[in-house]
Structure 1
């Protein structure tokens, strides 16, 4: 009896993490399939490569079209979508009838033409070396 107890315990110590790991993988795969099936036009998504965009077309079973910039639509495999993300939110101060400023979260609706571009530093002036 004692000779069988040690190998049995050793097998249990090895088998339990394997079973729990495979269950976790199956659950993650099911969640990913549910995400890919639930994609709809207008959803903000992030791809596996870290690209953010808005779903433009979901008519194909294996691919989706993602708008990555205004007027720029690219085609991706559904499996390349990692997760849905919320639209960007910025805080805006509004005044109420009591003239007290109130901070409110507002979805950014500013067109790309009105957004300030990146700030570029002027070139460094090199002194004359003599």
Structure 2
């Protein structure tokens, strides 16, 4: 019994740190990666997106690893699917793009 109590006193704080580290660091990162993967798999033609470089546009063509983005109806840009930002693309839409001044 004393052996078990001594073992818990020595390794208890270490186990607690590991559990806290898992729930505050690893688990949220795994959840975020899963959501990003789901977002990239559900992209479809016509979706408004923002790249990680800040380029706004509408998806014109989708391939296995790349997408073609139509920028303002004048340019077409081919980028990797991984270059589409899920964080910024969720908030874009017609109203955001319509507010931009046309030249």
TM-score, normalized by length of structure 1? 0.62
1:27/1:36 Cα in 2 relative to 1: closer, same or farther (>3 Å)? same
Greater share of strand: 1
What residue is the counterpart of 1:124 in the other structure?
none
Q: How many pairs does the alignment contain?
A: 96
Instruction: State the secondary structure of the residue aligned to 1:65.
Output: strand
Task: Give unmatched runs, 5+ long, in structure 1.
Answer: 91-106, 118-130
What residue is the counterpart of 1:36 in the other structure?
40
Higher relative contact order (CA 8 A, sep 6+): 2
TM-score, normalized by length of structure 2? 0.76
Q: Provide the aligned C-alpha RMSD in A.
A: 2.5
1:40 to partner: Cα distance: 0.6
What residue is the counterpart of 2:54 in the other structure?
50
* Among candidates 105, 108, 114, match of residue 98 of structure 2: 108
Task: Give unmatched runs, 5+ long, in structure 2.
Answer: none
Report the structure number with the largest CA radius of gyration. Answer: 1
Greater share of helix: 2
Structure 1 segments, 4+ long, off by >3 Å, are: none
